[in-house]
Amino acid sequence: MLDLAEKQRLTHDALRDFTHALPSRAYDVRIIPRKRGSRPATRNWTRAVLLAPDTIKFLRAANADGSDIFIRPGFANYVLVDFDADGDARLKAMLDDGVPVALAVRTSPGHVQAWIDIGPMREVTADEGAEAARILARRYGGDMGATGRMQVGRAPGFFNRKPKYRDENNHCKRQPKPVLRNV
């Protein structure tokens, strides 16, 4: 069993790898509580603030209290393609076709989120990013509901707090750790 310091280090490392693979001036972090009457909160943090020990503790506490933690780079150049089923096979198809996948995150069994850099030569607009996400999701079988402007993805290093992933005591069932894969 891991102690709290080790858990915080693993979360830090997952976020560090995310920010390294998807460099940006800032990151939008969305904290979505599952408690009735609670409102989502969005923070815009630099890499240094995001990786600070106090920020990691704050986000881990929110996640432990039942909130889901989502993230995205502040640039529209990165788009998310969310695979709700057969994630590994769909990701492989993208890679085989030469799609520039910057990072893939396993969010739960069979589910993979692929981050694609669509604008390495220039910064793209949020509308251009959303259109690129729709095209990629349609072509590779991604979730069309996750193709909005500046779409966030599940932050690596945190538990998925959906009820189906909880046990009878309302604790998160044992899940595979999100696997970051620099592609």
Structural tokens at position 95: 């890679």
Q: CB atoms < 10 A from the CB of 11, how many?
A: 21
Query: Which helix (H) or strand (E) element contains residue 97?
Result: none
- pTM of the predicted protein model: 0.87
Contacts of 41 (CB under 8 A, 6+ apart): 30, 31
* Stronger pLDDT, 175 or 75, i.e. the higher one: 75
Of all residues in the chain, the percent with pLDDT exceeding 70 is: 86
**What is the model's pLDDT at position 42?**
94
Q: What is the pLDDT of residues 151-183, one digit of tens each?
A: 999 999 887 655 555 556 555 555 444 544 555
CA neighbor of 151 nearest in space, from 94, 72, 98: 72
> pLDDT tens for residues 22-43?
999 999 999 999 877 889 999 9
Can you tell me the distance from the alpha carbon of 31 to that of 20, in angstroms, rounded to the nearest whole number?
21
Nearest to 155 by CA among 108, 110, 107, 116: 107
Task: Assign 142 a pLDDT band (cuts: 50, 70, 90).
Answer: very high
Which of 88-98 are b and which e, b meaning 16 or more Cβ less than 10 Å from the residue's Cβ?
eebbeebeeee
Question: Helices in the chain by DSSP H: which ranges?
Answer: 4-21, 47-50, 53-64, 87-96, 126-140
* Digit-coded pLDDT (tens) for 86-102: 999 999 999 999 999 99
Helices (H) and strands (E) in the chain, counts: 5, 8
What pLDDT, on a 0 to 100 scale, did the predictor assign at position 180? Answer: 46
pLDDT for the residue 167? 57
CB-based contacts of 93: which residues, under 8 Å, 6+ apart?
A: 140
Q: Say which residues have a Cβ less than 8 Å from residue 42's Cβ, sequence separation at least 6.
A: 28, 29, 30, 31
